[in-house]
Amino acid sequence: MSESKTRVTLITGAGMGIGQATAKAFAAAGDHVIVTDILEKEGQATADTIRAQGGSAEFIAYDVRSSERADAIVADVEARHGRIDVIVANAGIAHRTPLADLTDAKWDLTFDIDLKGIFRLVRAAAPAMRAHRSGSIIALSSIMGVAYGWDEHVHYSAAKAGVVGLVRGLAVEMARDGVRVNGIAPGYIRTAQLLSEENSLGPAGAEKAAEFIPMGRLGAPDDIADVIAFLASDAARYMTGQVLVVDGGLLVGRY
C-alpha cells in the first residue's frame, strides 16, 4: 500500500458515534481506515461493516491513555502501510461530576483521555508525517471547550478547551513541515454520550435542546464526519490551526 495513492487514516474512538461515522465516511472516499477503540466489540464491528460495504478497514484495540500503545500502533501501521496520512483524534469521555465530588483522579482521567490522549498519538505519528512532509490531523474539541461552560462538567470543559490550545500549538510547530492540524467543536450531536441520562442531557433534554438550535434539530454523527473529511482533504490545504464549530447555529443563535 505504501506505493499506492490510497490514504491511510487512523481514527480513535471509532467504535460508535462520531468516530464510527467518520470511519465510514473516509472509507467511502477510498481510504484504508485504521479503526481504533478501547471497545473491541464495537470497533471490530465498525471495521467489519466497512469491509462488508466494499471498503478497506482494519481494527486495532487502543487505549489512548497508554503512551507505549500509541508508539507501538503507529510503528506497526507505518511498517505495514508505509505511512499514516490522516489522524482523527476523536476518543473522549464526559462524566457528570459536581465540583464537590470532582477528585483529582476523576479530573486526571478526563484529561488523560480527552487531551493527553491526542498529544500521545500525535507525538508518535509526527516524525514520519514531518519526514514525508504531508499529513492532516483533526482533533475533537466541543462547543463546551470554545464558548460554553458546562456545570458539573468543569473537567470536560477544561480538557476540551485544552484541545484548542493543543491544535494551535501543533499547527504552528508543524506547518513548515507540511503537516496541518485542525479541530472540530461539535454542538449537540445525537450520540450515545449525549443521550446518557447519567452523564449528559438524556433523551428528553436533547429534544428540548433541539428546540433552541436555529436549524431546529440535533446534529447527526454524519454532520460532523463530513466536516472532518473536508478538513483532511486538499480542499482545506491552506487551513491549519483552526477549530471549526459545527452546531446548527447554536452559538450564534443564543442571546
Query: Which residues have a catalytic role annotated?
Result: 156
**Contacts of 71-76 spanning 24+ positions with Cβ under 8 A:** 71/124, 73/10, 73/34, 73/36, 73/124, 74/121, 74/124, 74/125, 74/128, 75/124
Angle between helix axes 154-174 and 116-132 (nearest 10 degrees) is 10
CA R_g for the chain: 17
SS3 207: helix
Q: Is residue 238 classed exposed, middle or buried when 0-12, 13-18 and 19+ CB atoms within 10 A define those classes?
A: exposed
SS3 9: strand
206 CB contacts (<8 Å, ≥6 apart)?
A: 188, 190, 194, 195, 200, 218
